[in-house]
Homo-oligomer: A and B are copies of this chain.
Amino acid sequence: MAELIAPQVLKGFRDSLPQQEIPKKTLMSKLETVFESFGFVPIDTPVLEYTEVLLGKGGGETDKQVYRFTDHGERDVSMRFDLTVPFARFMAAHAAEVSLPFKRYHMAKVWRGENTQRGRYREFVQCDFDIVGADTAAADFEILLMMARAMDELVEGKATIRLSHRGIFNRFLGVLGASGQSVPVLRAVDKLAKIGSDAVKKLLLESVDEIGASKILAFIGAQGDYLSVLAQLEALSGGISPESERLRELHSLASELGLAHRFVLDPSITRGLDYYTGIVYETFLDALPALGSVMSGGRYNNLAALYTKQELPGVGASVGLDRLLAGLEELGLLKSVAGKSDVLILATPASGAAQKLAQLLRAEGLNAEVFLLDKKVAQQYKFAEAKGIRFVAQIGEGGVQYKDTITGEARTGLDPLAFATWVTVRQP
């Protein structure tokens, strides 16, 4: 016999067992339902693309992490490292084939050869949603509203969306005479929650002077209710501007829908990335603020500039799926289960009878699993327990006995509908 090959996966990669895959799929399905209720449609793009398409002609910090190689046709190709760049390429290629404004979502894997010591994985699922083709308060608000709706579904609304506006921040930097420093300043401010204001100030002093750093900290530290913070920001950024009016309009829309309390104006939210041009936002679970943002994004006004001269303004967000999953599991809102069967039908010498019963129960909408080996009943109960199957059915001479393994209650002679009703009452 040949030598065995170790069944190992690559560093930074992982198998997804049912107890991980089921909650992940449940979460994705809940998000999809919300997205579709707003008219968002799914798309997909290839995992492999021309390297030039993904990285542009230049290069950046991400490049070193990209899985890049030469394919059979001597093409320079790379695996996608996010869903934003492929979406930009997609929009440049298909803008004429889709109806604008185009509302799309995309849930798919991406790959980054990151340092795994920080607990990061090299393969993970991203979930993005965007509206392209409308630079309006209505579009900004729709994304915010959809984020709030998703949080209704996932955590009964117990989440807060903190938002700000890149344009106001830029105006403020202009007033400060520090417009040229916007990139390092944004990066420093973005670290506030992680490293604290003293450390941010130290970073800021690399780009601006002592007074500037203090003013920046005062700006991002503005507190109070939405409208009073807005007034402070306007005062610090040279007065009322189209950007501050956009924030005011968003507040008015949220108020009209009775949702003003879900949105906090927080000027410390800036998002590190360069490409945002309008509102930016992050989402925090009220019960787990230290988890960090579970859904973040903003407005960018030139999505596909690398590929087309057509201006395609967009606004959207990305779900931190792994982080959100961890949060929901910690809060007991999404259970890690190894199976989704409602009932296990114990093995019987006449296996046709078991599948016949299973078919009747499936017709009532139940997930009915048949045990396929001739094992002791105790072992079959153990199987049910391991897979999280609450009910067990045993075919006997006097009919079918159904048992609730949690309460111990047993009933014989129920018809399939009556049993299905019982199951639904017990595990709604």
Chain A residues with a Cβ closer than 8 Å to the other chain, count: 110
Indicate if A370 sits at the interface (CB-CB under 8 A): yes
Q: Which residue of B lies closest to A29 (CB)?
A: B29
A387 proximal to B (CB < 8 A): yes
A238 within 8 A of B: no
Q: Is A11 an interface residue (CB 8 A)?
A: yes
Assess whether A340 is in contact with B36, with CB atoms less than 8 Å apart: yes
Residues of B within 8 A of A354 (CB): 138
* Binary contact track A166-203/B, C-beta < 8 Å → 1, others 0: 00000000000000000000000000000000000000
The answer to whether residues A18 and B41 also contact, given A2-B57, A50-B10, A252-B352 and a CB cut-off of 8 A, is yes
Cα of A340 to Cα of B72 in the assembled complex, Å: 39
Min Cβ gap A322→B in Å is 13
Query: Which chain A residues (25-57) contact chain B, with CB distance < 8 Å?
Result: 25, 36-39, 41-50, 52-53, 56-57
Which of A5, A47, A356, A359 has most B Cβ within 10 Å?
Answer: A5
**What residues on B are CB-neighbors of A134 within 8 Å?**
372-373
A369 contact from B4, B10, B39, B351, Cβ within 8 A: B39
Contact check, A42 vs B21: say whether CB atoms are below 8 A apart. yes
- The CB with the most chain B CB atoms within 10 A, among A18, A67, A101, A307, is that of A18
Is the C-beta of A161 less than 8 angstroms from some C-beta in chain B? no
Give A135 Cβ to nearest chain B Cβ, in Å.
10
Cα–Cα, bound, A94→B9 (Å): 12
Across-interface contacts of A25 in B (CB, < 8 A): 42
B352 close to A253 (CB less than 8 A): yes
Contact A113 B340, beta carbon cutoff 8 Å: no
Per CB-CB distance, the 3 closest pairs between chain A and chain B, nearest first, are A39-B369, A69-B69, A256-B352
Binary per-residue interface labels of chain A (55-82) against chain B in the complex, 1 for a CB within 8 Å, 0 otherwise = 0110000001101011111010101000
A residues touching B (Cβ–Cβ < 8 Å)?
2-11, 13-18, 21-22, 25, 36-39, 41-50, 52-53, 56-57, 64-65, 67, 69-73, 75, 77, 79, 89-90, 92-94, 97-99, 101, 103-104, 109, 111, 113, 123, 131, 133-134, 136-139, 141-142, 145, 149, 252-253, 256-257, 304, 306-309, 338-341, 344, 347, 351-356, 358-359, 362, 366-373, 383, 386-387, 389
Given A123-B48, A306-B5, A373-B136, check contact A356 B93 (CB 8 Å): no
Interface pair B15/A138, CB less than 8 Å apart = no
Question: Given A307-B4, A352-B257, A369-B39, do A94 and B15 touch, yes or no (CB 8 Å)?
Answer: yes
